């Protein structure tokens, strides 16, 4: 097949899968088989492009121009390939998990759930394949809209309130900040195409460059820099598979992916460091402040939500240092966080399904009855802390190396301090589950499909520690 056909299939498969899921609403088994088959097909198509991209090819597809010089265009480069592989691969695992969760909790509107999930993957893959800022913006906004029904899935007052916060913050931030940033970039550079080395080199500097960077950093609200972060904990009213989608597979990954794309292809790594001087401080504050909130949260999903806010800013912090090592760390952490955090949310959903527990203080002794679930949770926690043998150790190693290379002692201090905070809010959960006596009323593990999914993602977290060749090769291709 031609590159153009393969890129078109990357969007057509999840969009078509959503349509077929909707048509199969009367036949749940067929509906779910279609969802899984679509996920597998998408992953294989993306994977088929990997070797060529690693060898320097840049598959591209243009759909036409909205204005002269402003085309809707797809182009697959190394960072986009990594994001597309994560989104498509974890779609299949999330689909297996979701079958057990939705049936185990007798959730309503399951057809709508699976259809919107597929559309969310289509939006995420569109962001991954975007060849310019215009295309990225269109898919970025589409991703917000198609995930809104997932956030408000339960339809009660709390879900609607959370959905309003989710929608308002993400849409307003992108329209008020990201759109003007794109317009300024077009005015200065004459293009919105992602360009190796950057668009803006020599065209803007000093305070004006810092201001433009601020428009991008806060306009990409899905990266959840404080204070544009409240949408993320508000979205925890959704079912746990949706939380996993938001935090590990699509939405937040679209945010930090977009930040890294802007740093590499709009500003460029050789851009003046003075324009970026403020961003590590904002990211560092977000890392520490969110970790402190997580440390005090008793609700398990809230603790994981603020952990995500903190972990996302590791990527922003590392990218803002503008060193080759820190950029590699940022890219690796996109993958490491995906595997580790989806494992943690899968475990939280399994606990809710099997034991109906939602608070950390309720987990005493639960690990003895759910050993597979909490062993996987422990592996995910190790990755978020940054300890071996989990993927988070690899990404943090490069971040620390990048901070040392830049002699950015604040960044180094933030990484060390937040690592201790991560241990402070994750390890007590594992300790409670396995070593404290409790009266947990559960007969054992969650449904097999849920356990199989969370064990798989935990295994991937370990595999990436020992075999990080592909993400490393993709990250180094950006330099």
Domain map (residue ranges) of the chain: 278-479
SS3 220: coil
Cβ-proximal residues to 237 (8 Å cutoff; 6+ apart), any chain:
151, 152, 154, 158, 159, 161, 162, 163
Q: Is the distance from CB of 197 to CB of 268 less than 8 angstroms?
A: yes
Other C-beta atoms lying within 10 Å of the C-beta of residue 66: 12
Query: What pLDDT sits at residue 241?
Result: 81
What are the pLDDT digits (tens) for 77-131?
999 999 999 999 999 999 999 998 888 788 788 899 899 999 999 999 999 999 9
Other C-beta atoms lying within 10 Å of the C-beta of residue 183: 12
> Tokens for 91?
């779609």
Residue 350: C-alpha distances to residues 22, 234, 355, 368, 411 (Å)? 26, 21, 8, 14, 36
> Tokens for 341?
């955090």
Strands (E), 16-153: 60-67, 70-75
Q: What are the φ and ψ backbone dihedral angles of 63, each rounded to 5 degrees?
A: -100, -5
**Which run of H or E residues covers position 351?**
helix 324-355
* Helix (H), strand (E) counts: the chain: 21, 2
Give CB contacts under 8 A, 24+ apart, made by 168-173. 168/231, 169/221, 169/228, 169/230, 169/231, 170/144, 170/221, 170/222, 170/231, 171/141, 171/144, 173/218, 173/219, 173/220, 173/221, 173/228
What CA–CA distance (Å, rounded) separates 60 from 73?
Answer: 7
Query: What pLDDT sits at residue 463?
Result: 95
Cβ-proximal residues to 50 (8 Å cutoff; 6+ apart), any chain:
81, 85, 470
What is the pTM for the complete model shown? 0.94
Low-confidence ranges of the chain (pLDDT < 70): 247, 439-443
Query: What pLDDT sits at residue 417?
Result: 94
Q: Is the distance from CB of 325 to CB of 284 less than 8 angstroms?
A: no
């Amino acid at each position: 097949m031609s590159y153009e056909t393969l890129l078109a299939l990357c969007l057509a498969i999840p969009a078509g899968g959503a349509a077929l899921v909707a048509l199969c609403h009367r036949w749940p088994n067929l509906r779910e088989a279609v969802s899984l088959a679509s996920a597998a097909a998408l992953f294989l198509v993306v994977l088929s492009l990997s070797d060529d991209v690693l060898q320097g090819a840049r598959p591209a597809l243009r759909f036409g121009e909205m204005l002269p010089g402003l085309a809707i265009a797809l182009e697959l480069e190394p960072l986009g390939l990594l994001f597309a592989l994560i989104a498509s691969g974890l779609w299949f695992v999330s689909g297996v998990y979701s079958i057990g969760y939705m049936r185990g909790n007798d959730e309503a509107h399951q057809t709508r759930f699976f259809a919107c999930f597929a559309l969310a993957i289509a939006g995420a893959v569109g962001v991954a394949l975007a060849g310019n800022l215009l295309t990225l913006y269109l898919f970025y906004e589409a991703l917000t809209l198609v995930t809104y029904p997932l956030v408000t899935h339960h339809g009660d007052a709390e879900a609607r309130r959370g959905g309003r916060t989710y929608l308002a913050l993400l849409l307003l931030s992108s329209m008020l900040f990201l759109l003007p940033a794109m317009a300024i970039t077009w005015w200065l550079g004459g293009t919105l195409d992602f360009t190796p080395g950057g668009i803006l080199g020599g065209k803007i500097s000093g305070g004006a460059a810092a201001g433009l960077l601020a428009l991008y950093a806060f306009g990409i609200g899905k990266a959840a820099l404080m204070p544009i972060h409240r949408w993320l904990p508000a979205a925890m009213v959704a079912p746990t598979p949706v939380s996993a989608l938001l935090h590990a597979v699509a939405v937040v990954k679209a945010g930090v992916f977009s930040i890294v794309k802007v740093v590499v292809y709009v500003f460029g790594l050789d851009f003046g460091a003075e324009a970026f001087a403020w961003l590590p401080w904002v990211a560092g504050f977000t890392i520490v402040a969110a970790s402190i909130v997580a440390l005090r949260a008793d609700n398990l999903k809230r603790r994981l939500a603020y952990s995500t806010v903190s972990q996302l800013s590791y990527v922003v912090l590392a990218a803002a240092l503008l060193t080759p090592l820190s950029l590699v760390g940022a890219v690796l952490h996109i993958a490491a966080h995906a595997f580790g955090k989806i494992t943690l949310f899968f475990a939280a959903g399994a606990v809710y399904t099997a034991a109906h527990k939602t608070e950390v203080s309720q987990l005493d002794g639960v690990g003895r009855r759910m050993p597979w679930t909490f062993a996987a949770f422990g592996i995910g926690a190790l990755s978020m802390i940054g300890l071996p043998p989990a993927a988070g150790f690899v990404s943090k190693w490069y971040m620390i190396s990048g901070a040392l290379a830049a002699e950015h002692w604040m960044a180094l201090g933030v990484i060390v301090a937040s690592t201790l905070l991560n241990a402070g809010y994750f390890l007590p959960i594992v300790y409670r589950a396995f070593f404290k006596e409790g009266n947990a009323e559960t007969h054992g593990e969650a449904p097999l499909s849920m356990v199989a999914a969370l064990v798989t993602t935990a295994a991937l977290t370990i595999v990436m520690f020992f075999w990080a060749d592909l993400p490393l090769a993709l990250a180094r291709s950006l330099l």
